[in-house]
Amino acid sequence: EVDEPERLVLAITDEGELTEPLELITYTLAEADGRTELVLRQSGGTLTDEQYQQAKEGSGGFLDELGKVVASL
């Protein structure tokens, strides 16, 4: 799902094909104090609490690196 320029929703799965159950990753962009705020939310309920924590840590690292790239532009 794309709601340009504010929202992007991706459906993901660990299966070889995109079948149920799915996890949804939603990226929401909003202006805040002259800057762009990015909020990432993962939902679907198909992971354990430990897996969601690992996903949170991995996403945090990804977003940190993305921030470095954007800052260098």
Q: How confident is the model at residue 55 (pLDDT cuts 50, 70, 90)?
A: confident
d(CA 29, CA 39): 7
Proportion of the chain above pLDDT 70, given as a percent:
99
Q: What is the pLDDT of residue 13?
A: 80
- pLDDT band, very low/low/confident/very high, at 28 (cuts 50, 70, 90): very high
Percentages helix, strand, coil for the chain (3-state, rounded to 5) are 35, 35, 30
State yes or no: pLDDT of 59 exceeds 80.
Answer: yes
Q: Given this model, what pLDDT does residue 1 score?
A: 84
